[in-house]
Amino acid sequence: MKISSNSPCPCKSGKKYKKCCKPYHDGDYPKTALLLMRSRFSAYAIGLSNYIIKTTYKTHENFKNPNWKSEIDFFSNNTKFLGLKILDVKNGEQESFVSFKATLLSKSNNDISFSENSRFLKEKDTWFYERGKILKNK
C-alpha cells in the first residue's frame, strides 16, 4: 500500500501519518510499547516488512524462518487493515503488554480479524515485540 505523509495514519489513531507512525518507520524509537504496537500495525498495513523484523525481539522463532520477510510481504499485500482497537495496556519498566483487536479482511473479503495480547520487552532503551497470544478468533 502506498501512503503519503498527509494521509490518515494506518494505525487508525486519527492523526496524519507524518504526525503518528512515520517518524518510527523513519528511524525514531517508540518510547512506549503501545507506540511500538501501533507503528507495527501500520507497518503491516503499508508493507514495511523490514520494520516488523527490526522491532521483533531476537528470541522470536521467525528469525529461523528463511521465508519470514516474504511471508510478511504476502500478508501485507493480501490483507485489508480496516481497524485497530486497543483493549488494554499494562506498562512496566522492562516488560509491557498490549491487548488489541485488529479488524482485517483477506483479499477475497474473508473476515480474518483477531484479538491478541502482545508482550513487549525493553532492551537498551528500545522496545521490541516478543510474542503474542491470540485471545479469540473472530
Binding site for Zn ion (CB under 5 A): 9, 11, 13, 20-21, 38, 42
What amino acid occupies position 14?
A: G
Least distance to Zn ion from the beta carbon of 12, Å?
A: 8
Least distance to Zn ion from the beta carbon of 48, Å?
A: 12
Residue closer to Zn ion by CB (options 21, 37) is 21
Q: What is the DSSP letter of 28?
A: P
Question: Which residues, 6 or more positions from 99, have their beta carbon under 8 angstroms from its beta carbon?
Answer: 86, 87, 88, 89, 115, 116, 117, 118, 135
Least distance to Zn ion from the beta carbon of 11, Å?
A: 3
Residue closer to Zn ion by CB (options 21, 33) is 21
Cell of 137: 478468533
**Rounded to an integer, what distance in angstroms lies between the CA atom of residue 112 and that of residue 106?**
6
Residue closer to Zn ion by CB (options 38, 119) is 38
Least distance to Zn ion from the beta carbon of 32, Å?
A: 13
Cell of 63: 528469525
Residue closer to Zn ion by CB (options 46, 121) is 46
